[in-house]
Structure formats: C-alpha cells, structure tokens
Structure 1
C-alpha cells in the first residue's frame, strides 16, 4: 500500500496499522512522513505491523536546468537514498522535474537527468537502494516531470546505469497507444515497480482525483497480462491519491475495496 492513498485522511501510524489489518505485507511512505514521524519511530512502526518498506516516495518536486538546480536535485536524491537505506526501503521513486524556463531544450534536461542519476551509482551500490524513474502524464510536463513517455524513462535508466530502473503507473501511462509494446520490449528487469489506480473522467484536481480501481477508463487487465508476459515479479502498489477527506472507517473500506479489486484484476 502506498500511503498516498491514505495520507489526506489519516496519519502514518494509522495507515501502517490499517495496512497490516487488511493484509498488506508492504508499505511505501513519503519522505516527509518519515521525517515528521521520526526515523526510529517509523522503523518501530513498520516492524510492529509486519510491514516491509518497498519504496520511499518524494514529497517535493526538484527541477533541473542549471548548475545550482542540478546540485540541489542531486543532494536531495542522495539524501533520499540515505533515508531509504535507514528505514530499509528497497527503492526511491524519482520524478524528473518540470521545465524551469522557456525555451528549455528537452535534450539538455535529459542529459542533466542522466548525469545526476549516474552520479548516484556509488550511493546505490553501497546502500543496496535502487532508483525508479517514474514518467508522469503529459499534463504534468511543465511543472512536475518532463519525462512523460515510458520509452524515454527506459532510455534514461539505461544510460544512467544498472542502479536505475523505472516505475509504471497506470494513471500516468494509460494514454499511450503503444504502451504495452513498450513494456513488452523493455530490457529485462528495468521495470521495477508498478502503481495501480484508475482515471477519473471529471476532476477538480488532476493530480489527486484518482479513481477507484475498476471505476475509471483504464484497461487494467491488459497491464497485468503484459507484465506477466515479461515475468514481472516486483512490487505492485495501490496508489489512489484523493483530495477527499475520509473518516478512518471510510478509508478502511476504500483500501479494502481497492485491494480486493486489484487481486481480482491480477487473476483475470
């Protein structure tokens, strides 16, 4: 369970207890959640609820585009790797960042991204933490991620080194008519995590108004069939961001429904 699903309504402590009670074996919190809750307290929390931390998610978007911006991006990435290792997380989710000024050449941003990812190889090797570059929907290209296409994310991961893979999120990738071909033809073990949710037709908040699994327009069974065909054995996360505030009982019901529907979709 990705805590982005519950963060707007309940605390990290409640989310961990909820995940354990429902039957999740793994959890993926955000950077600031660990800092706020405390490193030692977070480790105790996850251990007491029999939860393995799979991914550490970013809490802030950092952009590339100049020496100072690139340096800040790299420093944040290295700190994220360090924190992930401290809580026993296997991966750090990486968002490429938006376009800082116009005109900004894509090739320049891409080269800067590869440079900072490659610069983390020693940190990743020593800590055992992997980086997972996540392409976002094109609607977020200007302010969150200039990497929107799975092929470009794969290219960046290949050029950066073996410590870098990618994350496939159904919300951000469903629009691509060639998506399943790209997944099927991806280099072995470069796709290292998968986030499931659905696309809401009408939204007041395009980032956070995500649909319950199976209630939107995304062809979710085709994702799982394609992943099975490439022998994907890595993490599958429920990540349904929502701008709505829910009671604990409502969150409990919501997450249980999402888990049950995900398991049913996997078996299709």
Structure 2
C-alpha cells in the first residue's frame, strides 16, 4: 500500500515545493499532489525539474474549477484560468486536475450549478487535447456558500456522466463524503470514473470548519471501508493524504511525513 501514498502538498503547507519534494525523497513517499499557488511560487519549469529529478510522480494538481461568476466576462476569466491549470497539469505529468467547482456569486445556487456544468463542458476539449483527466471533487455541504455548489458524490457523478469516462471523473475525499447515507451506492455507480482518492479524518468535536481535519485515526471516518469500496469500483491509483490543520502545519515537516506514513499503514 505504501507504494500508493501521495503527499498532498497542503498537508505541509508551510513548506515550499522544493522542501516538500525533498521531504518526500527522505521519507520514501513516491507521489506528490501539487497546489497551483506553490507551483506559481516556484515556477512551472522549476517545479517540473524538482519532481522529475527526485523521481517522484505527480498524483494531481489542485485546483481547477471555481467556474461560477456573476458576469459572462467573469466566467470567461475563470475558464481561461482553468485552461492554464490544464496546461500546468499536462506539463507536470499529473494523473488528474482536481476541480473544486466554486460557490454561487449571489443567492442563485441553481444558476451557479448550471455555470459549473457549462464550464466543465467548455473545458473538456482543451483538457482532452492536453491529455489531462478532469476530476470533479464534491465538497462537504458546509462549504457550499464559499467553495463549491457541488456537495454530493451523486451530483459529481451526474456531471461527469455527461462526458466520456476517459475525460471526466470524480475525486472521492473521505472528509467530504463520509457522512452521506448513499455513499457506497454512489461509489459503486462511479465505477471506472474515480480519478482520485483523498484521506484524512473528521475530528470530534470539530475544531474548525476549514482547518480542522485530522490525521488518519484521530477521528470517526471509516477510512478503510471507503478505500475498499473505491478499489472495488476500479480505482487502484495513488491515495493522497490531504490535511488542512494549522497544528499539523506547525510541526516539523519530517515528523509529519513519518507520522503520515505510520497512520496510512494502520488506518488506510
């Protein structure tokens, strides 16, 4: 299993891309998921060189999406940014571009969902030309007002099913979907369309809506059960550890990576 572990860069957000790559090399972590703001800090060419020279593969680039906007010009600007994200993912050889689809610019959530569907439809041909798979990641409903109007795996699959499974799939993040009473039915429905799998834990009591994710084993999520369901649906790719938590960010980088591997072996 450890040959599938991927460091999602946000887990050690205080580190630069170069430091994250060096940490993966020391900890023998074979995959990394890169965030675009870290790529921008380092530069795309240098980011590519760092991961290539370290012999590490890129499981995903995060993030594309954020399609809705109040004006047509705003939606076009968002689409243009998504095209840049596709180009970055292609250059880095990423397995997928993760789409966090974006909130409504006002109270009209139905229009926002329509704009998400239209944005993906317009992005698909460009992604196909660049050999990049798009992965729609549904977020927990508590993020609907700020980050994504796509809040269930059912919604994400329905969007993905408008396109070939070779072009558009879904990303299953246990933090966002563990609560869903239809989760296992939807995972089975997503067979052949899962392009990413993210793990962390839901701490009780939850210390912070954004920054309160826990290390695997520190919360209530049935991580292994979900992983087994995802594998039964055909996903055998890298498994990203993605943790937003300032306490973890403040720990020494190598200490976090060692703990991450230990918990991955036990809990995932």
Normalising by structure 2, report the TM-score: 0.90
8 A Cα contact 1:114 1:160, kept in partner: no
When the two chains are superposed, the root-mean-square deviation of aligned CA atoms in Å is: 1.9
Structure 2 CA distance for partners of 1:161 and 1:117, relative to 1, 3 Å:
farther
In structure 1, the residue matched to 2:9 is: 3
Distance 1:167 1:143 in 2: 19
Aligned equivalent of 2:124, options 93, 96, 121: 121
Please, which runs of 5 or more residues in structure 1 have no aligned partner?
A: none
In structure 1, the residue matched to 2:91 is: 86
Distance 1:50 1:27 in 2: 11
Count of equivalent residues:
260
Over residues 163-200 of structure 1, what are the superposed CA-to-partner deviations in whole Å (9 max), with x where a residue is unaligned?
A: 111101011111111111210222x3211100000012
Aligned equivalent of 1:252, options 241, 254, 268: 254
8 A Cα contact 1:43 1:87, kept in partner: yes
Aligned equivalent of 1:42, options 40, 47, 51: 47
Alpha-carbon deviation of 1:90? 2.5
Please state if 1:201 is matched with 2:207.
no
In structure 2, the residue matched to 1:155 is: 158
Normalising by structure 1, report the TM-score: 0.90
Distance 2:228 2:93 in 1: 30
| Secondary structure, aligned partner of 2:113 | helix
8 A Cα contact 1:121 1:161, kept in partner: no
Aligned equivalent of 1:232, options 232, 235, 248: 235
Q: Summarize the alignment of residues 67-82 of structure 1 with structure 2, pairs less than 5 Å apart.
A: 67-82=72-87
Distance 1:22 1:2 in 2: 14
Alpha-carbon deviation of 1:59? 8.3
Structure 2 CA distance for partners of 1:177 and 1:105, relative to 1, 3 Å:
same
Alpha-carbon deviation of 1:246? 2.2
In structure 2, the residue matched to 1:185 is: 189
| Secondary structure, aligned partner of 1:29 | strand
Higher relative contact order (CA 8 A, sep 6+): 2
Aligned equivalent of 1:19, options 20, 24, 31: 24
| Secondary structure, aligned partner of 1:57 | strand
Aligned equivalent of 1:221, options 194, 216, 224: 224
Please state if 1:32 is matched with 2:37.
yes
Distance 1:114 1:60 in 2: 11
Distance 2:94 2:112 in 1: 28
Structure 2 CA distance for partners of 1:67 and 1:59, relative to 1, 3 Å:
closer
| Secondary structure, aligned partner of 1:202 | coil
Distance 1:60 1:231 in 2: 25
Alpha-carbon deviation of 1:20? 1.6
Moved more, 194-203 or 65-74: 65-74
